[in-house]
């Protein structure tokens, strides 16, 4: 059996929803086609910018959705425990948003408002904010308390991503 080499470059994209690795032909994305995951049919972006909702932005989690969105996630999840009245939380918000886009497909980024979701904040003993907790395979694997520069957060995440 003779196989011919592919006529176009292919990129691999990890699905932000189910974690499956997908091969997408670059020419398809160049033509404006919107690829989807072969396993779960979630939207993908060939530039790796697909976030949990397909837009490269953090998802909002609540007490009710935390288990499904964070603890059952096939990829590691960075959860930002924050409150709207917290100046350091507002200060790191742009960095968290950027990381969601930059690490999409490898790390899911979520935000949990502790004022509206006190049960989850208490469950994880969040005593001060901002608190960033990284979950992998449903377990807490790292915790960053206080405002940190984007690069410091990114380095901690890179050490946990396979």
Residues 17 and 68 grouped into a single domain: no
Residues 90 and 130 grouped into a single domain: yes
Q: Which of 15, 18, 37, 86 is catalytic?
A: 86
Tally of domains in the chain: 2
CA dist 116 and 144 (Å) reads 21
- Average the pLDDT over each of 3-7, 49-53, 98-102 and give the range with the smallest value: 49-53
18 included as an active-site residue: no
Residues 43 and 63 grouped into a single domain: no
Q: What is the CATH number of the domain that holds 80?
A: 3.40.30.10
> What are 71's two structure tokens?
């603890």
First to last CA, the chain: 35
Residues 32 and 76 grouped into a single domain: no
| Residues 6+ positions from 10 with CB-CB distance below 8 Å | 23, 24, 25, 26
Whether the upstream peptide bond of residue 130 has omega within 30° of 0, thus cis, is yes
Residue 41's CB: how many other CB atoms inside 10 A? Answer: 11
86 included as an active-site residue: yes
Question: Which domain covers residue 138, as residue numbers?
Answer: 59-158
Query: For position 37, what pLDDT does the model report?
Result: 81
Residues 85 and 110 grouped into a single domain: yes
Residues 110 and 137 grouped into a single domain: yes
Q: Which of 15, 18, 37, 89 is catalytic?
A: 89
Query: For position 29, what pLDDT does the model report?
Result: 60
Dihedral through CA 79, CA 148, CA 13, CA 42, nearest 10? 30
Q: In the predicted model, is pLDDT for residue 26 greater than 80?
A: no
> What are 81's two structure tokens?
């425990």
């Amino acid at each position: 059996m003779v196989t011919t080499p592919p006529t176009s470059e292919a990129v691999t994209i990890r699905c932000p929803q189910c974690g499956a690795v997908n091969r997408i032909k670059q020419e398809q994305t160049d033509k404006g086609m919107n690829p989807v995951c072969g396993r779960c049919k979630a939207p993908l972006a060939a530039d790796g910018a697909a976030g949990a909702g397909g837009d490269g932005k953090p998802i909002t989690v609540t007490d009710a959705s935390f288990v499904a969105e964070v603890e059952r996630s096939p990829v590691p999840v960075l959860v930002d425990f924050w409150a709207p009245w917290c100046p350091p939380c507002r200060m790191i918000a742009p960095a968290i948003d950027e990381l969601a886009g930059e690490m999409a497909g490898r790390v899911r980024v979520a935000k949990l408002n502790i004022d509206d979701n006190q049960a989850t904040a208490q469950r994880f003993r969040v005593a001060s904010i901002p608190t960033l907790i990284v979950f992998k395979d449903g377990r807490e694997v790292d915790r960053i308390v206080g405002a940190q520069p984007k690069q410091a957060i990114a380095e901690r995440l890179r050490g946990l991503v396979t």
